[in-house]
Chain A
């Protein structure tokens, strides 16, 4: 009888200790989230991550080189008839509207067709667009790696003449000065929204 009562008391004590511990953990978590919001953001950041690729001038560029300045990143390929030139053209127009603020931002155009999009070819292609746009290409492995970091989809689609075209994510990702995900610009987004989002991205960096 007494042992059962003692057991019950012990169990109750254990229960309240566990409950208190849980409460303390939850409180600690909340305090942590308030004190280190960036940490939480970092853990749930849906896209972005380390990469090293080759620019259209042949130089190597890594994500760490981009720190301190926000950037917009979009994936595509030069043998793309519509989505890529349209996106690059609309970005060019948006940068024009930003005026001198355009220098506070980097725009990266990453090729998902690196075998055909050599740095030389990218350099020629990008002459038609704003000079703030950097073309990036690399080895198949490097592209696979950045593709995974940004969680994009891309796939080679053969055409019946033995040639191929590419399916790919057309969304532009906006990353802050710390390389953290900030938002997106969808394909075909209104010009006003596009400019507004880029402005916000620049504003968030200062």
Chain B
């Protein structure tokens, strides 16, 4: 009996609080403000996108590197909305002296192999290719500066047909995204 009374008091206090914003405009303003706040809070979690012709580049990201590291890896998804196959032929990164596209894999014997994608990475018409841990990656070599968490860096991607586009890699903590890898 007492419990339900307390609950009633609490509810009425809340209503009382809300009733301070009496007009519709005030309440609408409050709602918009709350939504804006929520949006701002979740914004860094949202994938960012870039476009080059028919190619959509989704969420380029990298990982913080260990102290003094000379290499870093970049990951992203390439979607081809066009009617013909395109190829990612080269890439650059502000942080790197040299950038290549590599394919990495770990076999059943636990051996990691890495090879340069020689003739460009194919993105089939209407299809997509994901560069992710345990698979393809943009290999940043000769790092000029460390890659640090929360400090995005710029780079370019050059496609055979869609041309060159500037993108930005967001940088996650070391070990971030490790749940994704297939190995």
Q: Which residues of A contact B98 (CB under 8 A)?
A: 161, 163
Q: Which residues of A contact B113 (CB under 8 A)?
A: 157, 167
Bin chain B's interface residue count: 35 or more
Q: Which residues of A contact B118 (CB under 8 A)?
A: 160
CB <8 Å contact, B69 and A85: yes
Could you mark each residue 91-133 of chain A with 1 if its beta carbon is under 8 Å from any beta carbon of chain B, else 0? 0010000000000000000000000000001001111110000
CA distance A124 to B133 in the complex (A): 25
CB <8 Å contact, B69 and A125: yes
CB <8 Å contact, A157 and B175: no
CB distance from B112 to the nearest CB of A (A): 4
CB <8 Å contact, A169 and B110: yes
CA distance A82 to B66 in the complex (A): 11
Q: Which 8 A-B pairs have the closest CB atoms?
A: A171-B110, A128-B66, A124-B68, A81-B73, A89-B175, A188-B183, A170-B112, A167-B113
Which residues of B pack against A, CB within 8 Å? 63, 65-73, 98, 100, 102, 104, 106, 109-116, 118, 133-134, 137, 139-141, 174-175, 178, 181-183
Which residues of A pack against B, CB within 8 Å? 78-83, 85-86, 88-90, 93, 121, 124-129, 153, 157, 159-161, 163, 165-171, 184, 186-188
